[in-house]
Chains A and B, each alone.
Chain A
Amino acid sequence: MKSKPVLGFANQKGGVGKTTWSKIFSEYLAIVQGKDTLGIDIDSQTSFTARFFGINKNPITDYKEPPLHPYFDPNNADGWDGKSSIADIFFGKIPKPYPTKIERLDLIPSDEGNLFKAENVKRQEMADKVYGQLYNFINLQDVQKSYDIFVIDTPPAKGPLTISAFKAMTHLVIPLEIELQAIEGLTGLLQLWKQEAMSRPTDFPLHLVGILPNKVHSRRATDKDLLQELRSDPGYGNYIMPVQMVDRTEIPLCDLEQKTIFQYPDSNPAKQEAMEVCNYIYGRIFQ
């Protein structure tokens, strides 16, 4: 059986739009395309989780934790504390996806403390205990049967959790702000893509869907010129997506008000741009 698509949003730089696009694209898949979608938050900053369930801090450890699972029954707990997160895969457990307010969209939350623990596994044990676990989980028969597609939000680093996400991905999107530092940082992430893509068997390739220009300042000359230069490069220009997202107020507003961009009217420019980007990525995955 051919495994289902696994799309990861990755960039070692923070604040470029990984979580924003993990959220928007997961919502698009469920709402617009009617796909059974599983979002996975493997970033210990737990931002993707917070977009759907708010922030839950453990009062003792001060670490951000997943909320109580809605199906948790304290009277029939069987040793379970009612919380499940993606960190479970690193400790021999199978996480339980949480339903979100959006039909067809489930999410496996992050867990700050336990992801730290997983990252601190000794280097020599890393390959066994961390790198392959997300791939193993996503490829469990039950998990494959339950979802049409998986969307992973990765940490802003090139550490073991990101590597674990890369090993599970079939498709990669790199959100990028059009500014010099971010473009310089891009080469580091491409090295990770290179390593993984070259290590794959040809029947399980890692496709670079593209580099997504995000938070673009459409009237700023630097953004316009640099973007044009990137897109017109004969070597990698076709990896720079022909669509883009302009820096618009609606995006942070959606986060603050816990709503989705797809609730806006069709005439809203932010929604239109988000649709264009999502349609492009969707086309590249399901073409």
Chain B
Amino acid sequence: MKKKFALPAGISSEINNTVDLVKNNIGTLNYKIVPISAIEFDPDNPRELSISRDDLPHGPHESDPLYIKKLEEFESLKQTAETIKKYGVRNAIEIYKHNNNYRLIHGERRCLSSILAGKKDIPAKILDEKPSDFDIRLLQLIENVQREDLTLYETLNNIRQVIKEYKKNIDSTIEVDTVFLENLINRSKTHCINYLAVLNAEELHEFIKQGKIRSLEKAALIAKAKTQTQKNILLEACLDGASLKQLKQESFQQKKIDHIPQTIIQQKKKPGKQASKINLGSTTNKTIIAKLIELVSNDPLYSKFKEQFNQMKLDDYGSCSSAFSSLIKIMEKVEIN
């Protein structure tokens, strides 16, 4: 048979992968350095930022009715500006072409901080067309959710709005679960589980709004407690200033209590011959036998067996079992049914 020459495995698939990637992603990496002066801010951005470009040169004026809020924002922008001076803008803003200029989708704080840092340009991802109103709103909300400098209350509000917009515009019947939220806001599974738990724990919302609970993890621990009593204990501890570690310990203790085997509480009646003796079970924990011996030997009834107890060796499972048998034998002598 005539020999047939072929390409080694891998080459074709590599070429194919590249060709496919390009076909499906034309224009998705359109990043450029753009003059900030050519970027208009979106007046409908749902973020409640009061400060504007006009406030930047001298800071907000005292006569401004929003002075206090603007001053807070101005200070925060100045901090970001310092970082931008040192490292530049690390994440590109997103804009689309609007008449002869660009309009911002998200990145208002980065723009304002860049102006404060004395920058004239900013890296931007440019979309060719104006996204639909819903897409813009969703992108802005999602971007806001991903920001690190928002309070827990603001982030939760943003997530609530993202879900609301999604239900209103795309699918009103969607079940809001962890997977849905992960895909929508692009945060980790753990984060999404926590957000959902806190969103559903309405009794915590007022504390979060007042800033009494600021940590998502703490709020989620409380929200995930099984009973109202457990929630109350955790909430009280949190409001008293317990650290996350302390709250976790408390929650862990609660779970341990929850997980005590039900057989102790409820002994189901088994069919067949009734038990005539007690099976004391087994364990891999050698310290349990030591503890039992210690407890029993401290009882005045057992003082005369003190020496026997002291001779029991607890260095391996075999000797632990022997010690336990001896303990039971001694106790059977003392305890009368």
Contact = CB atoms under 8 A, between A and B. Distances in A.
A239 B19 contact: yes
Nearest to B127: A201
B128 A187 contact: no
B29 interface: yes
B337 interface: no
B28 A198 contact: yes
Contacts of A194: 18, 21-22
B27 A221 contact: no
B278 interface: no
A239 B128 CA distance: 26
Contacts of A226: 5-7
Interface string A187-210: 100110111011111110100100
A180 B4 CA distance: 14
B124 to A, nearest CB: 12
Secondary structure of the A side of the interface? helix
B306 to A, nearest CB: 81
A233 B16 CA distance: 9
A183 B22 contact: no
A233 B12 contact: yes
B20 interface: yes
Contacts of A208: 22
Contacts of B169: none
B22 A197 contact: yes
A235 B16 contact: yes
B166 interface: no
Contacts of A235: 12, 15-16, 19-20
Contacts of A222: 5
Interface residues of A, number: 29
B284 interface: no
Contacts, number: 72
A191 to B, nearest CB: 7
Contacts of B27: 198, 200-202
B21 A198 contact: yes
Interface string B22-35: 10011111110000
B11 A183 contact: yes
B15 A197 contact: no
Interface string A16-42: 000000000000000000000000000
Contact of B3 (A183, A205, A221, A239): A221
A194 B27 CA distance: 11
A202 B18 CA distance: 18
Contacts of A230: 7
Interface in A64-81: none
B240 interface: no
Interface in B1-55: 2-8, 11-12, 14-16, 18-22, 25-31
B214 to A, nearest CB: 40
Interface of B: 2-8, 11-12, 14-16, 18-22, 25-31, 126, 128
Closest CB pairs A-B (n = 3): A235-B16, A225-B5, A199-B29
26 contacts: A180-B7, A180-B8, A186-B15, A187-B15, A190-B15, A194-B18, A194-B21, A198-B27, A198-B29, A199-B29, A199-B31, A200-B30, A201-B30, A208-B22, A222-B5, A225-B6, A226-B5, A229-B6, A229-B12, A233-B12, A233-B15, A235-B15, A235-B20, A236-B12, A236-B15, A239-B19
Interface of A: 180, 183-184, 186-187, 190-191, 193-195, 197-203, 205, 208, 221-222, 225-226, 229-230, 233, 235-236, 239
